[in-house]
Structure 1
């Protein structure tokens, strides 16, 4: 099964690049608990991140080590490229334990067996599933170790995608196109919001005629009516009404790789001001995409967008794009580079971003996004979908 997604050479490259960064940071070991980073280094793919699990990379060992719940060890055998000796599991009495046991007590035993109990150990302090208790238990079990915050170490390795990764993101874009078309077609006066969400989910999972889709890291987002300026709302029992603007943001997912896409539609005939605002967003987005090339900084790309909207007397402070790709709930973002003022990260060939500019004014708001890949001579937009304001008319 692991070979169906990526071959051994892909994982070897990832491990070596991770070890290079570990050497730069002087780390003897790295405890990776972010599910996306675990997948990136080992191939592990299971909905088990609600309990403590990790992949450990050491400077001296060729293979990383997977650590997880006993009942999930077969999942590691099924989805990773690791040998049997690299799969370690703790007993179920460590889960929500009444005996004052904790999964990271077992992590400490594995780290001792790997002979790094007194070394410099990197941990992902700001990862969603690495808790304060996990950290303090590791500290108490390994008092001679020196723990370092390595939250984004693997994330930065992930920022530059391989050809194989890019192909999965292109496949995810095909799914996004189908799901967006399904969502836009379903919106209409009197239609419940959940019906539109159901049509989108059906398309996300059915994928295309050639391949199916995975569950995305973020649910379809569908703010509508007076709430279009609140971007992270989902759906309710409410029925769409004449005069409602509706924003749809979604992403197809293929082998955990995403290609987000957002568009705005209107129930009825859209007001002229909304159409004009959408034209400004499209013009600004096109200018930002035109500014993309290797060596250009993130803030320089954002400046191209800002120059356009400022010519219309509009100011917007939020970032307009972020690095993304491989992901698990609750997020498909990589938490590294952002296209915004002050981010001097230089774009590199193989980086991928979700560019999602939007303009919200007192009475109208519109949002439109593209996922793009930095190529040797510009931006490759992954989805092929009209950049326009849609309506039910």
Structure 2
């Protein structure tokens, strides 16, 4: 029989920080009239319990109840070891369901297992909050819960945990700074690799290599979003990646939006590159983007609303006859695929969210115009008196 030396469990945060998070969640639940909260977003599950595994393709959840001292993490039996190794709660609060709940989901579903658990704890007659609008809770799950818990009252608790995640702790900021160092190294190497005749897929491979190797001192993790790196006229699109057969050409524009990831914390960064001598149109557009970015960054400080930041950017580019319809920034930090946004506050018109110290954003002042696009972005932290960029990289149009 094989025997292994069991390592001591080391969590990304102290138990006390997790407990403070649970306390804040319960306070928000009480304010919203929620007695039980079922969390299915993997980033929110991680934030509350520490759970971290590639298991989010099957139903799972973390339950927070006002009547329970600790959260309860419910996962697939196959993932039980992953859960016990990464969560901070006592073993009894990590519960596994067998695979039969996955075999015929129209007949027997994981939500039946969760519903039976709630009934066993006499929590089924309470007001139950659900993350309705998330990638990891669908209509079938909801219908299964309704059928299993016909006497329950369900409340939309979408983003309840997300909003609590907004102001980062010192340890969270430390992880975001490490992610920033990873993406800076990756961006440098990627820009240096771009050359006439170089395959786009080769540059993409180098990006993945650098994101995972990390800084040397710190290794990286898989990011929540694949590298965005269109070239040529594809830069007019906001979310193209590389082409499988394409090679870089003289006189070609391209940009790269990347993020390092450390302990699931992200720090996105975007830079635009031109191969050869850039035309005046591209150079002038880049100058406008950088000017608008700088003006918006200067506007940020505690007490300012998100819409005021967006207006500073919009007013700047309006001087040049340009307008950006889409939001130009969003909260960022802890995340899992398919996105790295935290889905709460945005820099957009009408966004009344007031900025507070240690909120973190990806400021995304990209312009996608007729036939081309330019994007130069920063990840930032709101400070006590203004803001600072977590990403540290030359803010310019790069020429290869």
Same fold per superposition (TM over 0.5) = yes
Where does residue 350 of structure 2 map in the other structure?
A: 342
Instruction: Give the superposition deviation at 1:262.
Output: 0.2
Where does residue 277 of structure 1 map in the other structure?
A: 285
Aligned Cα root-mean-square deviation (Å): 1.2
Kindly provide the CA deviation profile for residues 345-377 of structure 1, in whole angstroms up to 9, marking residues without a partner as x.
Answer: 100111100001022332442100000000101
Q: Aligned equivalents of 1:233 and 1:18: distance in 2?
A: 37
- The one of 99, 114, 124 aligned to 1:117: 124
- The one of 329, 332, 337 aligned to 1:324: 332
Instruction: Give the superposition deviation at 1:97.
Output: 2.4
Q: Aligned equivalents of 1:229 and 1:160: distance in 2?
A: 34
Which deviates the most, 255-264 or 300-309?
300-309
Q: Aligned equivalents of 1:272 and 1:98: distance in 2?
A: 58
3-state SS of 2:236 partner: coil
- The one of 286, 293, 298 aligned to 2:306: 298
Kindly provide the CA deviation profile for residues 261-303 of structure 1, in whole angstroms up to 9, marking residues without a partner as x.
Answer: 0000012111121111101110100000000000100010111
Aligned partners of 1:214 and 1:256 also within 8 Å: yes
Does residue 1:55 correspond to 2:62, yes or no?
Answer: yes
Instruction: Give the superposition deviation at 1:113.
Output: 2.1
Once the two structures are superposed, the pairs formed by residues 353-364 of structure 1 within 5 Å of their partners are 353-364=361-372
Kindly provide the CA deviation profile for residues 55-110 of structure 1, in whole angstroms up to 9, marking residues without a partner as x.
Answer: 00000111100001001011110111011110111111111327821111101111
- The one of 201, 208, 211 aligned to 1:201: 208
Q: Aligned equivalents of 1:99 and 1:161: distance in 2?
A: 40
Instruction: Give the superposition deviation at 1:383.
Output: 1.2
Instruction: Give the superposition deviation at 1:2.
Output: 5.8
Does residue 1:100 correspond to 2:107, yes or no?
Answer: yes
Q: In 2 relative to 1, CA 166–69 (structure 1 residues): closer, same or farther, beyond 3 Å? A: same
**TM-score normalised by length of structure 2:** 0.96
Q: What stretches of structure 1 of length at least 5 have no aligned partner?
A: none
- The one of 246, 254, 262 aligned to 1:254: 262
Q: Aligned equivalents of 1:183 and 1:380: distance in 2?
A: 25
Q: Aligned equivalents of 1:99 and 1:354: distance in 2?
A: 40
Q: Aligned equivalents of 1:161 and 1:344: distance in 2?
A: 20
Once the two structures are superposed, the pairs formed by residues 133-212 of structure 1 within 5 Å of their partners are 133-212=140-219
Q: What stretches of structure 2 of length at least 5 have no aligned partner?
A: 1-7
Aligned partners of 2:234 and 2:372 also within 8 Å: no
Instruction: Give the superposition deviation at 1:244.
Output: 1.4
Aligned partners of 2:238 and 2:368 also within 8 Å: no
Q: Aligned equivalents of 1:70 and 1:362: distance in 2?
A: 52
3-state SS of 2:331 partner: strand
Where does residue 312 of structure 1 map in the other structure?
A: 320
Q: Aligned equivalents of 1:319 and 1:100: distance in 2?
A: 42
Does residue 1:369 correspond to 2:377, yes or no?
Answer: yes
Q: Aligned equivalents of 2:362 and 2:336: distance in 1?
A: 16
Once the two structures are superposed, the pairs formed by residues 238-249 of structure 1 within 5 Å of their partners are 238-249=246-257
Instruction: Give the superposition deviation at 1:191.
Output: 1.1
